[in-house]
Amino acid sequence: MRIATWNINSVRTRGERALNLMDKHDIDVLCLQETKVADDKFPRALFEDAGYHVVFHGLNQWNGVAIVSREEPTEVITGFPGQPGYHNDEEKEQAPEARALGAVIRNVEIWSLYVPNGREITQRHYDYKLDFLYGLARYAEGKKREKLLLTGDFNIAPRNEDVWDLELFRGKTHVTEPERAAFQRLEEAGLEEVTRRFTEKD
């Protein structure tokens, strides 16, 4: 399978581009993040009329994830067990957001993930981000004997060379040691970061 991932930043605005991308690069599975649409307004007909299967999870105009595939998934998983929730108001229910969607295709469990941004390191959203990543790692650890692929927008720069100017990020999210340690925890859970090989220079 040829699998790709894209933070589409509104599927209703860029749905045609997604189809063009799949056609141009012969993509079998496209994982999308930040679809920014509730399920009842998702443009499923756009993909189905083009011959694709599409599953999606969106609760409102924020976040949202989807998986577009040539083959119909044999299983769809909305949210991973132990996924933490969040609400800006601490007094309200901290319900899981639309940030994780899995689909089993050709016996491979493929996930489209939109990891919380973290906003500022002094905000509750930062702790939420870390909880999300460690919860994801715990889930992955229980899948060591299975074919599991986690794709998406992780909102982390694992290495200094992944940002254009490290000084601009000092004291900000995406490059802090706790975030990088949480990302590393995914590898300790048995996963391999497979894109690095295409970006590293000999």
Q: φ, ψ for residue 48 (rounded to 5)? A: -65, -35
Helix (H) or strand (E) holding 77: strand 75-78
Output the pTM of the full model. Answer: 0.95
Residue 142 belongs to domain with CATH number? 3.60.10.10
How confident is the model at residue 150, as a pLDDT?
A: 98
Domain span at 58: 3-199
The token pair at 200 is: 């590293």
CB of 11 within 8 A of CB of 64?
yes
Distance CA 55, CA 3 (A): 15
Assign 69 to helix, strand or coil: strand
Number of Cβ within a 10 Å radius of residue 185: 18
**What is the mean pLDDT of the segment spanning 4-26?**
98
Closest CA to 107 of 69, 81, 146: 146
Per-residue confidence (pLDDT) for residue 47, from 0 to 100: 98
- Looking at the structure of the chain, the number of domains it has is 1
Using the Cα atoms of residue 115, residue 118, residue 119 and residue 123 in order, give the sign of their dihedral. Answer: positive
Residue 144: what pLDDT?
A: 83
3-state secondary structure of 30: strand
Lowest-pLDDT range of 91-100, 119-128, 140-149: 140-149
Question: pLDDT tens for residues 62-116?
Answer: 999 999 999 999 999 999 999 999 999 999 999 999 999 999 999 999 999 999 9
Is pLDDT above 60 for 202? no
Q: Which amino acid is at 144?
A: K
Give Cβ neighbours of residue 31 (< 8 Å, ≥ 6 apart): 3, 4, 5, 6, 65, 66, 67, 110, 111, 112, 151, 152
